[in-house]
Amino acid sequence: MGFLRKLFGGRPSAPQDNGIYLYFRSKRAADAVTKIRIEPKYDLNADGNGYVWHKTIVDSRYFSKINAIVHFDGNHNLTVSDIDGGELISAESYEAALAERNKPDEPEEEKEEEAADDNS
Contact assessment for residue 34 and residue 57, using Cβ atoms and an 8 Å cutoff = yes
Q: Model pTM greater than 0.75?
A: no
Domain ranges of the chain: 41-102
Q: Report d(CA 82, CA 52) in Å as an integer.
A: 11
Q: Please give the sequence-ordered ranges of beta strands (E in DSSP) within the chain, or none if there are none.
A: 20-26, 33-38, 45-47, 50-58, 65-72, 78-84, 86-89
pLDDT in tens, 27-77: 988 889 999 999 999 999 998 889 999 999 998 788 999 999 999 999 999
Side chain identity at residue 34, one-letter code? T
Residues shown for the chain: 120
Q: Report d(CA 28, CA 66) in Å as an integer.
A: 10
